[in-house]
Structure 1
Amino acid sequence: MTHATPPAWYPDASLPATERWWDGTAWTAATRPLTGAPQQFGAPVQQPEPPQFGPASQFGPSQQVGGSQQSGASRHFGEAPQPASPRAGSGVRAAVIAATGVVLVAAVVVGVVVAGRDDGGRKPTIATGSSSPATRADAKDTPTAPTASAPPTNDPALLVDQLDGITLPIPNGWEKPDNTVEDVTTMRTEHSYECPGDTASFCWHGTVTSRTATQTDLTTAEAVAKADIKDAANRSYDRDIVGNLPYDGITSHTEIKSASVPVAGRTGYLIRWRVKTGAGPGGYVQTLAVPSSVGSESIVVVRFAFDAGPDGPPLSTMDSITRGIRPIGDSTNGGVGSSVGP
């Protein structure tokens, strides 16, 4: 009389120090480290539930036993279950490979997490709520998009002073030069001419520059404008930055305007002089001072120099440029792409 071998953990001869689960009909893919002596048949033993590795699989082909077809894993009572014979090795290898694959995937995930630690000591975390593990950066490491991007500096209708955070509309017939003697934001009329007091030099009928007021303890736009206007006139129509006298110097000046003016939502101050020179028709010089909208709110100085006479730009262009000054990123009423008449 034969009896089926009861479900239990039994030593696996193909894997030393390992037990494999026998489900009463066939060997399963579940294994565990050998924790005790082999089970003795005939005495009821409380066995732990096998781990869940999916449907039980049979190891080895069907065999004829006692005239009837039974699974190759079946055994007579009293015969200890044995691991599958070499003929059934393909099934065992498949189970081992599957188990090894699970371990390998787990090792790869752990390796990615460890290797992914950043220089600040933080490490990526495993995302939840997904069918597969995934890493994500900490939320505080995710850069946020700026609320307003700086306008392109190659816009032919716009002069951008990145340092001071303002833009100025460029009048028709004006240009942004690639190189200037002074390293400041500059625009000027497109065509030059020989300076009347120094024919070896070139002058322009109109020039506008923007810079930060430096080397001063003055804190108001009015004070800065009043202190700057003389230097602005000298640099434009007296002795230039390299020491030349393109107009044979200034012979006299007259103040024709001095007033507060709104500029880009802030209160600025301007002073305008009419200067006469030793050579040429002379010109108009204006200093516009306004608190900056960036950084420590230092004072920004915009200098204007327009030749007098029929070849110089109209004075109304000074006012048009002043009204069109905007903070960087503000394209309303005189910002990006606007134009100012000559």
Structure 2
Amino acid sequence: MTSSTPPGWYPDAGLPATERWWDGTAWTAHTRPRDLAPQQFGPPPAPAPPVPPRGGSGPRTAVLAAVGAVLVAAVVAGAVVVGRGGGDDRPRTATSGPARTPTSDASDASDGKGTPTSSAPPAADPSLLVDELDGITLPVPDGWEKPSSTVEDVTTMRTEHSYDCPGDSASFCYHATVTSRTATQTELTSAEAVAKADIKDAANSSYDRDLVGNRNYDGITSHTQLASKSLSVAGRTGYLVRWRVRTSAGPGGYVETVAFPSPLGTESMVVVRLAFDAGADGPPLGTMDTITRGIRPIGDATSGGVGSSIGR
């Protein structure tokens, strides 16, 4: 039976106080402390029934127990309010808020064979790009879009308007693209090593040969390293590498890789790639710096409302 459960974080019974990422079809290796999950509100717990006195018995004890059971049933079912204003004597049921969303079964979380049940994550602020898996948000500049689907299945934002690629390709290109993903160099343990290893792949996928084999700019002819430094990203110590690449067709562009540990408290490294066209039609290079500085952990109060302040 095919599962329709959306991707999200669900309790992992095999790791107490921990949640594991369900990608929509299977459990992944990504985990995070459970107390970082957004709080879900539901009806207040029902009070416990009165406890009979020690050694008590007889009619009084039975009456107390019966009254307690009735009170519990009333709280769980919802209080009934009788409206008498304006001659309306019909009973009205008082609501007590939304029901708590059910979580995955303990056996499902531990063996990875079951399917969790939960509602989808809340819709993201339009001024933010949300990478739920890696626990970060990025500010979305004016004039950019968050495509619902891309060739590469990673969290993506890009300039709204496309143009015919200048190289030997029938594809459409974009003046700037930013992606966020989990690092694939799992054997590397430092942000510096991950960034330095990733920058070449980032440049090649943006300006040399894409995932489907198109050479949209007829390939990279040379590159110059503009920056290689440590920096703070989403409250963690990360590393940045930036190249200026030149291509056989078109003006080339700027490519940057930012690597840092996930703010979820896991051992996973996050990689944010930024590719901006050079020339008059490309976005200002300062926008690249603004996006990098605006990377925040999900839920950080300072991460919202910045999209309108970023140039095209």
Interval of TM-score (by shorter of Structure 1 and Structure 2): 0.5 to 0.7
Question: Corresponding residue for 1:251?
Answer: 221
1:102-141 aligned at under 5 Å gives the runs 127-128=49-50, 131-134=67-70, 135=72
Q: When the two structures are superposed, what TM-score results if normalisation uses the length of structure 1? A: 0.57
**What is the CA-CA distance between 1:174 and the residue it aligns to?**
0.6
Question: Corresponding residue for 1:6?
Answer: none
> Is 1:193 the counterpart of 2:129 in the alignment?
no
Q: Distance in 1 between matches of 2:68 and 2:269?
A: 57
**Partner of residue 258 from structure 2, selected from 256, 265, 288:** 288
**What is the CA-CA distance between 1:323 and the residue it aligns to?**
1.0
User: Does the 8 Å CA contact 1:166/1:325 hold for their aligned counterparts?
Assistant: yes
> Is 1:233 the counterpart of 2:206 in the alignment?
no
Question: Corresponding residue for 1:338?
Answer: 306
Supply the AA of the counterpart residue of 1:292: S
| SS of aligned partner of 1:219 | coil
Compare relative contact order (CA 8 Å, sep 6+) and give the higher one, 1 or 2: 2
Question: Corresponding residue for 2:244?
Answer: 274
1:307-318 aligned at under 5 Å gives the runs 307-318=277-288
**Partner of residue 152 from structure 2, selected from 179, 182, 185:** 182
**What is the CA-CA distance between 1:293 and the residue it aligns to?**
1.2
Q: Distance in 1 between matches of 2:168 and 2:265?
A: 41
| SS of aligned partner of 1:319 | helix
Question: Corresponding residue for 1:297?
Answer: 267
**What is the CA-CA distance between 1:181 and the residue it aligns to?**
0.3
User: Does the 8 Å CA contact 1:229/1:287 hold for their aligned counterparts?
Assistant: yes
Supply the AA of the counterpart residue of 1:173: G
| SS of aligned partner of 1:203 | strand
| SS of aligned partner of 2:157 | strand
Question: Corresponding residue for 1:34?
Answer: none
RMSD: 2.6
Question: Corresponding residue for 1:118?
Answer: none
Taking a change above 3 Å as real, the CA distance of residues 152 and 338 of structure 1, as seen in their structure-2 partners, is: farther
Contiguous gaps of at least 5 residues in structure 2: 1-45, 52-63, 76-98, 102-119
Contiguous gaps of at least 5 residues in structure 1: 1-123, 145-149
Q: Distance in 1 between matches of 2:249 and 2:213?
A: 16
Q: Report the number of matched residues.
A: 209
Q: Distance in 1 between matches of 2:47 and 2:177?
A: 58
Supply the AA of the counterpart residue of 2:250: G
**What is the CA-CA distance between 1:164 and the residue it aligns to?**
0.2
Question: Corresponding residue for 2:137?
Answer: 167
Supply the AA of the counterpart residue of 2:223: H
Taking a change above 3 Å as real, the CA distance of residues 330 and 125 of structure 1, as seen in their structure-2 partners, is: closer
Q: Distance in 1 between matches of 2:48 and 2:137?
A: 46
Identity of aligned residues (%): 71
Q: Distance in 2 between matches of 1:215 and 1:255?
A: 21
| SS of aligned partner of 1:200 | coil
Question: Corresponding residue for 2:26?
Answer: none
Structure 1 consecutive aligned stretches of length 4 or more whose deviation exceeds 6 Å: none
Cα deviations by residue, 1:205-240 (Å, 9 ceiling, x for unpaired): 000000000243001100000000000000000010
Q: Distance in 2 between matches of 1:226 and 1:257?
A: 11
Q: Distance in 1 between matches of 2:195 and 2:285?
A: 18
Supply the AA of the counterpart residue of 2:243: W
Cα deviations by residue, 1:84-132 (Å, 9 ceiling, x for unpaired): xxxxxxxxxxxxxxxxxxxxxxxxxxxxxxxxxxxxxxxx996128745
Taking a change above 3 Å as real, the CA distance of residues 309 and 152 of structure 1, as seen in their structure-2 partners, is: farther
| SS of aligned partner of 2:206 | helix
User: Does the 8 Å CA contact 1:156/1:175 hold for their aligned counterparts?
Assistant: no
User: Does the 8 Å CA contact 1:286/1:304 hold for their aligned counterparts?
Assistant: yes
Supply the AA of the counterpart residue of 2:306: S
Q: Distance in 2 between matches of 1:295 and 1:263?
A: 14
Q: Distance in 2 between matches of 1:286 and 1:202?
A: 21
Q: When the two structures are superposed, what TM-score results if normalisation uses the length of structure 2? A: 0.62
> Is 1:327 the counterpart of 2:263 in the alignment?
no
